[in-house]
Amino acid sequence: MGGHREVSVPIPVRLRVNNTPRDHTIEPRVLLVHYLRDACGLTGTHVGCETGICGACTVLVDGKAVKSCTMFAVQADGSDITTIEGLASNGHLHPLQQGFWDCHGLQCGYCTPGMIMASVHLLASGAVSSREEIAEGLRGNLCRCTGYSHIIDAVQQAAAEIGAAAAAGHRAPQSEVVHG
């Protein structure tokens, strides 16, 4: 039987990842999560379900939490991406990273980078204080280990720290990476 093979033509992609300009030519079928891991070497962003369910692949795209298995890298052309590797600043953990550490918000850690990136967006997007609000805000991120309680503790600790820093007139670290 006749037929033809589809030819995939690589496309140039220019974006910023963790404040570093990136310039690659990639096939249009490459998902953003694979681009970050394979082309950029940033393996902190995890691959779980690849179907948009688990949230392990969550990163910030122009300040918004995005499951990076749900978009092609070429769709992110021109964007500003933040991954878990870009969250600490000047050797200091982001309050959410510190919160997960202090509150034992992880066990195996597979969900943790995505959980933290989703939490960055959650805290930046408005007042979230109750445990119910945090649980609701993170419902798109699944954890198979912790039962979520310590994760919510961690986010509450970070929210309190960020709120206290804002009240004291300091810029919270998240405001450096979240624009949306």
Which residues of the chain form contacts with ligand FES (CB under 6 A)? 47-50, 52-57, 67, 69, 106-112, 143-146
CB of 156 to ligand FES, least distance (A): 17
Q: Decide whether 69 or 155 has the Cβ nearer to ligand FES.
A: 69
Where b means 16+ CB within 10 Å and e means fewer, 117-137 reads bbbbbbbbeeebeeeebbeeb
Q: Decide whether 66 or 172 has the Cβ nearer to ligand FES.
A: 66
124 strand-pairing partners: none
CB of 71 to ligand FES, least distance (A): 10
CB of 165 to ligand FES, least distance (A): 27
Residue 43 CB neighbours (<10 A): 14
CB of 7 to ligand FES, least distance (A): 28
Q: Decide whether 140 or 163 has the Cβ nearer to ligand FES.
A: 140
Give the orientation angle of helix 95-102 with respect to helix 112-124, to 10 degrees.
130
Measured distance between the N- and C-terminal CA atoms of the chain, rounded to whole angstroms: 52
Interatomic CA distance for residues 33 and 140, integer angstroms: 17
Q: Decide whether 92 or 139 has the Cβ nearer to ligand FES.
A: 139
Q: Decide whether 94 or 150 has the Cβ nearer to ligand FES.
A: 150
58 strand-pairing partners: 67
CB of 175 to ligand FES, least distance (A): 26
Judging by beta carbons within 10 Å of its beta carbon (0-12, 13-18, 19+), is residue 156 exposed, middle or buried?
Answer: middle
Alpha helices in 39-139 (DSSP H): 95-102, 112-124, 131-137
